[in-house]
Structure 1
Amino acid sequence: MRDINYIFALMVFDSKRKNYDVVICVGPQHIEIAKVVINQVKRFFQAQQIYVITSPYYFEKFQLLSLTNLVLVNENELLYRFNFESVADFLKQKINNGDRAGWYFQQFLKLEISKIIQSDYYLIWDADTIPLKPIDFFDKEDKVLIHKSEENHNPYFETLEHILGVTKTVNYSFISEHFMVKTAAIRIMLEELSKNANGMYWPYYILESIQKKDLSLSGFSEYETYGNFLNSTYPDDFRLRTSPSELLNTTRNGSMILGTLPNTKNLHFLEVLGLHYATFEIWQDINPKQIKANKRRVALFFFFEKIPLIRSLNKLIIKNFRKTYSLPQPPY
C-alpha cells in the first residue's frame, strides 16, 4: 500500500511540476552518500535530467547506477581554463592556504552549469542531503518556493555588494540544502558579473572581491548571491514557504542519528519521523555507541509494526527520537 501511495503522490506532483533538472556537485568525500542521494532524487523528484558534476575519475561509480537521465559533467572542463587547482593556486598566493579551494570551486560550478542546462529551472541539491518523500518546489502560481534559514554571515553580503552592487534585500537567509533556480536569471547574473569584472574571468573576480581575512573561511555564498540578486530583479518569481502544506521538516543531524551511510530501512524510519529530507554531514561528532543503539531501536520499531497488539509502543520510540534530536513535528 505504501508504494501505491507514493506512486499516486508522484503522479500528482508530476502533474503540477514545471520543467526542471537537478544539479549535484560531488567531491571525493561524498561519493558513496551521493549515490544514495541520486537514487532518491530519481525516485521522488521526477526531474528531466540529473546532472552530476564531479571528477571524471568517479564517473564509473555513478554509471553503475544505470539511470537513463543521468548526465555526468567533468568538473575540470565546465569552466573555461579554470578548475580546482586554479582556486587552490589563487588561495595559496593570497593567504598561503588552499584548504577552502573545493568549497569555493563547487559554488562556481553550480552557477556555470546554467550555460548548458536546457530546462527553464534547475534544482541545486547538496550531495549529502537525502530526500525522503516528494517535495513541491513551485506553488499554484508557478512561483518558486523558498525554504529560508536564519543564517547571517556578513562577509557574504560584502562580497555580493562588491561584485553586483546588490545589498542584502531580505531579513532571512537563502542558504539551505537546496535551491530551485531560474536558468535564465542565473545567466543574466553571470553576464552582470562578467560586465562588472572588466575583462577578468568572473570566478577570479569573485575571489579577488573577497576580503583577505575572509578567504580562508567563508567569503562567498552562491545561494545568498543568487537569492538577493533574484529578489532585487525578479521579486515576483518566488515566495517563502508559509502554509503548513508547504513547510519542510528537515534535519542536518542525519549522521549523528544513524551514521554517515544509512540503509533503506534507516531512510524509511526517518520518513516515518515526518522528515522531507535529512543531511548526513561527514564532519559531525559521531558517537558509534549511540548510533548502534539508535539502529537497534529502528529495528525494534519495524518489529513492533508487524504486531498489532504492541504497535502502539512505536509512538514512544518516535517521541524519543524527536526529543533527543530536536526534530519538529511534521508540518502536516
Structure 2
Amino acid sequence: MPEVSSVMPPLVPVIDEVISVCSIKDIDVWTVAAKHIVQFISAKQYTVIVPDAQVQMFAAVTKAPYQVKPESLFIGNLKEKIAQTLTPENQDRVGWYLQQFVKISAVLTHDDRDAVLIWDADTVPLKKLEFINSSGRFIYYKGGEYRKSYFDFIERALGLKRTQNFSFIAQSLILKVSWARELTNALAQSAQLHWVEAVLSFLDKTEPAGFAEFETLGTWIWNHHHDEILISERPWYRNGLSLVGNPLVISQWIWTGLAKYYDFISFEAWDLKGGIRNRIRRAYRRVKLGLEGKFI
C-alpha cells in the first residue's frame, strides 16, 4: 500500500467580507449591484455601510445575505472633524473623504488573518470574478487614473514614491487585514497621531482630492507585499451611465453583451457631465461593441 501523506496542502484564503459604502445618490445602481455582487463574488459575508439616516431605505432594497450597517458604527462623529480640517471651498468634499475613512475603519474591525474585498457600490460585476488565485496571491485590477496630489500625500505621509505605472483606483481592492493595519500603524507613527488624524494632518487642505484610500493602500501593498500579489490585465469599464444608461432599465441582452468585453462596469454619478469629446468617444464605443440601438 502506498503511504498516504498526513500533510495537508495549504488552504487558499477566501474572502471573509465584501465591504461597500453607499449613499442615497447611488441607491438605484446599488439595487442592481448588490444582486450581481452576491452572484459573481464568493465571500463569507456581504456588508453595505450607509449614512445612519438612510439605513431603513437601503434595508428595503437590499436582500440577504447582505447586511446594512450605519456608518457611525465605524467612524462616530468624524464628519465634523473632516469639515473643520478642509477649507471653506472644499466643504462639499467632506462626504467623499468620510466614505474613504469608513471603508478602512470597517476593514480594521476584522482579524489580521482575514481577507477583505472593498467594492465600490456603484460598480456591477458582470461575470464570476477571482480575487485570490490558487496559490493564494491577491489579484488587483488596474486603473488609468493619475492624480499627483494622491502621490504627494503618500510621499509626505509614508515616504513612498510612485514606482508602479498604473493606478490602484479600479473600483475594487482586495487585501489582507494585516496589510491595512500595517499602513494605519505607519501613518500613526509618522504623525504621532491616531491614523485618521494622521491622514487629516498630512492633507493639502486646499486640494479637493488630496487622499485616495485605494491608491494609498495599493501603493503600500505594492512596496511591502509585492511578491504576494498579481496585477490583472483584464478589462473593466468606468463610464457605464453614458455607455448604456440607467442600470435599472438595462435589458438582459445588454448585460450579456457587456460581459463579453468586461469583468465589471461602473455607473458613477458624475459620468453624464462629460464634455462633447467624451460623448463622441462613448458613442463610438457603443458602435464598436455592437450596442447601438439596443437600449430600452
TM-score normalized with structure 1 length: 0.73
How far apart are the structure 2 equivalents of 1:209 and 1:111?
17
Pair 1:267–1:252, CA change in 2 (3 A)? farther
Contiguous gaps of at least 5 residues in structure 1: 1-14, 288-317, 326-332
Deviation string for 1:50-97 (max 9, x for gaps)?
121111222223323564432333212312x44223212321xx3443
Read off the aligned partner of 2:217 and give its amino acid letter: Y
Read off the aligned partner of 1:236 and give its amino acid letter: D
Residue 29 of structure 1: CA displacement? Answer: 1.0
Instruction: Please name the residue that 2:280 is paired with.
Output: none
| Cα contact 2:120–2:172 (8 A) shared by 1 | yes
How far apart are the structure 1 equivalents of 2:147 and 2:24?
27
Q: What RMSD, in angstroms, separates the aligned Cα atoms of the two structures?
A: 2.6
Instruction: Please name the residue that 1:160 is paired with.
Output: 154
Pair 1:26–1:267, CA change in 2 (3 A)? farther
Instruction: Please name the residue that 2:222 is paired with.
Output: 231
Deviation string for 1:268-313 (max 9, x for gaps)?
52332313211112222379xxxxxxxxxxxxxxxxxxxxxxxxxx
2:236 is equivalent to residue 254 of structure 1: no
How far apart are the structure 2 equivalents of 1:155 and 1:182?
26
Instruction: Please name the residue that 1:188 is paired with.
Output: 182
Instruction: Please name the residue that 1:28 is paired with.
Output: 24
The share of aligned pairs that are identical, in percent, is: 26
How far apart are the structure 2 equivalents of 1:133 and 1:188?
32
3-state SS of paired residue (1:169): coil
How far apart are the structure 2 equivalents of 1:103 and 1:116?
21
Read off the aligned partner of 2:149 and give its amino acid letter: P
After TM superposition, what 4+ stretches of structure 1 lie above 6 angstroms from structure 2? Answer: none
Residue 159 of structure 1: CA displacement? Answer: 0.7
Per chain length, whose mean CA-contact separation is higher, i.e. which structure has more relative contact order (CA < 8 Å, sep 6+)?
A: 2
Deviation string for 1:247-279 (max 9, x for gaps)?
2x322221113323433x535523323132111
Contiguous gaps of at least 5 residues in structure 2: 1-10, 275-284
2:39 is equivalent to residue 40 of structure 1: no
Number of residues paired by the alignment?
269
Match of 1:221 among 198, 212, 223: 212
How far apart are the structure 2 equivalents of 1:194 and 1:82?
19
Deviation string for 1:170-219 (max 9, x for gaps)?
12211111111211110121111122221x332232122122332xx211
Residue 134 of structure 1: CA displacement? Answer: 0.8
2:239 is equivalent to residue 276 of structure 1: no
